[in-house]
Structure 1
Amino acid sequence: MMTRQLHLNLFLHDTGHHEASWRLPESDPYANLSLPAHQRLARIAEDAKFDSVFLADSPVLWSDPGRRPAGKLEPTLLLAALIATTSRIGLIATASTSYNEPYNLARRFASLDHLSGGRAGWNIVTTAGADAARNFGLDDQPLHVDRYARADEFLSVSTKLWDSWADDAVIADKASGVHARSDRVRRVDHHGAYFRVDGPLNVPRSPQAHPLLVQAGSSEDGKEFAAKWAEAVFTAQPTLAESQAFYADLKRRVVAAGRNPDHVVILPGIVPVIGDTLAEARELDAELDRLIGPEHAVRTLAQILRVDADTLDLDKPLPADLPSEDEIEGAKSRRTLIVDWARRENLTVRELIGKLGGGRGHRTFTGTPVQVADTIQEYFESGAADGFNIMPAVLPSGIEAFATKVVPILQERGLFRTDYAGTTLRDHYGLPRPASSFDLIGVR
């Protein structure tokens, strides 16, 4: 019987996840726009046998450009470029179901899966915020429940399109002159509440059948969506107890949806600040926090909480009369996580933005390589995680330290692979290739 193994994903984020990382002497403040910088990071992760690398995205300027590098290259284009300099590691990109169409996006990810030999993954988001909506001709963002209803139909259409070619459609028979069997390529004829798509897709079924489906929302709608569709889940939980509760709840929902809970990999984020000694790690952490620009951080926090920045006093706790989760339409779970955290620890706004500066609500950990490995092992063995979304506070040094100092400890303990056992992203995550629904699709 094979021992359960950790899964590790590297979340690539320009100069690192700490908002002040770009201000360190080592940092390249233009790394967010550099292909060589991304190629170097992906190769470090592949050499360490990570399952995957991940690029987040949003169809809107993501943060105050005065605060940190705010420009974002389109992630599927960047992943296509990374295919040429990697050979095994999975490649996951975020794309929105609110501001794309199923045909184009299904084609893009199927193309990535073919070009990479089966290494593509799609992080599915519904995109919160009125600013994004106004970039697409809308006055305001759609309601939370409507965004998830559209996302559900979006996935239904996408999976039909990926299955519109049977696995045995392409035969490339030179003798007969038949490249593909026409009877094994079918229209999908989808007519729904949000989309009308005839199909078929103009890309044959890909090596993984379809890209690995990843989800990151932790609201009630998000968890129900994940239970139905997700094969991996990125989540933000700042404590072990909260991670255990989320893990148990989501696995229960997966079972209720009629799926195998072992086929949904849960990866909480962790922001490690690593030093050879605890004193070194704490010194780096303190230096980063000193470099945070509070004026930018307060504006960002105010946007998440849906309040005026003038109502937030740096040296006082959060105001008592904040809008509730039910009163906001975007980033519901992240808002609740932050407010609960601040209330539980009685944090001032200054203390809160210091904690958020490192990981935006994800678990932050400052310590030695052994201490980081101990924390990861504790979560993994206590029903809190199937692995981790590694979010280095500083890049490239953070992933170099993790890859060369933490990964060997995890390998020595038998928790993490020493080499890849397969070639596809599904192989790395221990997930089956989806069966085709081609012969079940009610089409002509």
Structure 2
Amino acid sequence: MTRRLHLNAFLMNTGHHEASWRLPESDPYAHVRLSHYVGLARTAERGTFDSLFLADSPQLWGSVAQRPAGALEPVTLLTALATATEHIGLIATASTSYNSPYNLARRLASLDIISDGRAGWNIVTTAGAEAARNFGIEHEPAHADRYARAAEFLDVALKLWDSWEDDVIVADKAAGVWGDDAKVHPPRHRGTYFGVEGPLNVPRSPQGHPLLVQAGSSEDGKRFAARYAEAVFTAQQTLADAQAFYADLKARTAAEGRDPDHVKVLPGIVPVIGSTEAEARAAEQVLEDHIVYAHGVSRLEGLLHLEPGTLDLDGPLPGDLPPEDAIEGARSRYTLVVELARRERLTVRQLIGRLGGGRGHLTFAGTPEQVADAIETWFTQGAADGFNIMPAVLPSGLDAFVDHVVPLLRARGLLRTAYGPRRTLRERYGLPRPVNQHVARPALV
């Protein structure tokens, strides 16, 4: 079978560029309008994307002065989008640090049932003291502790999703028997972080369980991904870095006894598209001209764990920044930003400009052909199984990608021209439906 690109639409209010809301065509209230997201989902479906994705955090992120702030709860929003679409996968971010396994497993299984098997879960561990304090925890849990909790959380969720066998429901009206109690299996889990009796109070969902997605690229994050993830959202700035990450993660997955083809690596790309390269560069410059640098400095000082007022806007980053293993927050993003600044010798002002479009993801301004060339190069040279498409401005950036880049990818045989008979999200990603752990696996011949 021909290897095909997997495309995921990462949707963020008016676009991924922090100044996108200031453009004349942008709706500053789009982030709380269902119609906005319905339109985006249908556009991505027109482009035969595998899935769309909503980021989330259990806190108000950043200053409300900077850009449209707050977000609709993603499982709720995706449930509405499930009724407005037919094919596209629906991936919600949810934290293992500030949820309970039972309630979250139930919500995600419900989304999978309502969408006929199109649900995915982006598993995050949530860094930051601000989020911790929203849940009565004074100090941010340590990086290693967050991942240990996440591993147990996921083990419990998998037990809950398997607590009903697929054929529990008998529906024998004559005998008055609706279901078979022998095929319901309470987890009765007792662990370090959780005690969960179970079973789940919804049946096993069409996919068995939602597609499992992970986005951390720290050492702990990569170990977690190798053990559990079926898709990985990642951020690299160069082809060489992306190739190294791809090879490392595939090797780690094999070492865990899993098929490396069963984890799909999707780097993020922020395309700014113009009919000419000059037009694309001009559009990118318009966005950069609308950045409020005071917001950028504050955000960068927070990421780098610096005291307010430390950074000089027209100077380089300080030379005495701590190493990654001293950071309890978003370690992989910290390292990516520092390495980008050092490698390209950027001033703080220039670094903020680079981060304004994608917060460390690859930004690319060019013609549809140049964007398609970049995607094809990474895909064919061992750096990606697909891409997280992160338009700088929405909805226009997604429209431009679907109208002008997608046809080129299809013409090159890299992307499907229509959705086929496979309906579930894991089928779109070429992944098997997991066998319930309470059912004997067929013997190998």
**TM-score, normalised by the number of residues in structure 2:** 0.98
Q: Which position in structure 1 is the counterpart of 2:206?
A: 207
**For 1:203 and 1:22, how far apart are their aligned partners in 2?**
40
**For 1:26 and 1:252, how far apart are their aligned partners in 2?**
46
- Alpha-carbon offset, residue 222 of structure 1: 0.3
Q: Which position in structure 2 is the counterpart of 1:44?
A: 43
Equivalent residue runs for 1:169-180 within 5 Å: 169-180=168-179
Partner AA of 2:161 in structure 1: W
Partner AA of 2:381 in structure 1: S
SS at match of 2:21: helix
**For 2:169 and 2:389, how far apart are their aligned partners in 1?**
39
SS at match of 2:53: strand
Q: Which position in structure 2 is the counterpart of 1:68?
A: 67
**For 1:67 and 1:397, how far apart are their aligned partners in 2?**
21
Partner AA of 1:258 in structure 2: G
Q: Deviations over 1:246-282 (max 9, x none)?
A: 0000000000011000000000000000001111101
Q: Which position in structure 2 is the counterpart of 1:426?
A: 426
**For 1:110 and 1:10, how far apart are their aligned partners in 2?**
22
Q: Deviations over 1:291-345 (max 9, x none)?
A: 0000000000000000023111011110111122122201001000000110011
Partner AA of 1:429 in structure 2: Y
- Alpha-carbon offset, residue 356 of structure 1: 0.2
Q: State the identity as a percent.
A: 66
Q: Which position in structure 1 is the counterpart of 2:95?
A: 96
Q: Which position in structure 2 is the counterpart of 1:380?
A: 379
**TM-score, normalised by the number of residues in structure 1:** 0.98
**For 1:180 and 1:119, how far apart are their aligned partners in 2?**
25
SS at match of 1:267: strand
Partner AA of 1:430 in structure 2: G
**For 1:63 and 1:431, how far apart are their aligned partners in 2?**
37
Consecutive unaligned residues in structure 1, runs of 5 or more: none
**For 1:240 and 1:309, how far apart are their aligned partners in 2?**
34
Q: Deviations over 1:69-95 (max 9, x none)?
A: 111110000001111110110000000
Partner AA of 2:10 in structure 1: F
SS at match of 1:202: coil
**For 1:176 and 1:215, how far apart are their aligned partners in 2?**
46
Equivalent residue runs for 1:232-311 within 5 Å: 232-311=231-310
Bigger shift: residues 306-315 or 404-413 = 306-315
- Tell me how many residue pairs correspond in the alignment: 440
- Alpha-carbon offset, residue 440 of structure 1: 7.0
**For 1:134 and 1:279, how far apart are their aligned partners in 2?**
47
**For 1:432 and 1:234, how far apart are their aligned partners in 2?**
20
SS at match of 2:309: helix
Q: Which position in structure 2 is the counterpart of 1:106?
A: 105
Q: Which position in structure 2 is the counterpart of 1:34?
A: 33
Q: Which position in structure 2 is the counterpart of 1:402?
A: 401
**For 2:336 and 2:328, how far apart are their aligned partners in 1?**
15
Partner AA of 2:433 in structure 1: R
Cα RMSD for the two superposed structures = 1.0
- Alpha-carbon offset, residue 174 of structure 1: 2.1
Q: Deviations over 1:391-442 (max 9, x none)?
A: 000000000000010000000100000111211101111111011102479x
Partner AA of 1:427 in structure 2: E
- Structure 1 segments (4+ residues) deviating >4 Å: none
Partner AA of 2:17 in structure 1: H
**For 1:61 and 1:106, how far apart are their aligned partners in 2?**
24
Q: Deviations over 1:215-271 (max 9, x none)?
A: 000000000000000000000111111110100000000000110000000000000
SS at match of 1:311: coil
Q: Which position in structure 2 is the counterpart of 1:438?
A: 438
Q: Deviations over 1:168-207 (max 9, x none)?
A: 1112222222211111011111000000011100011000
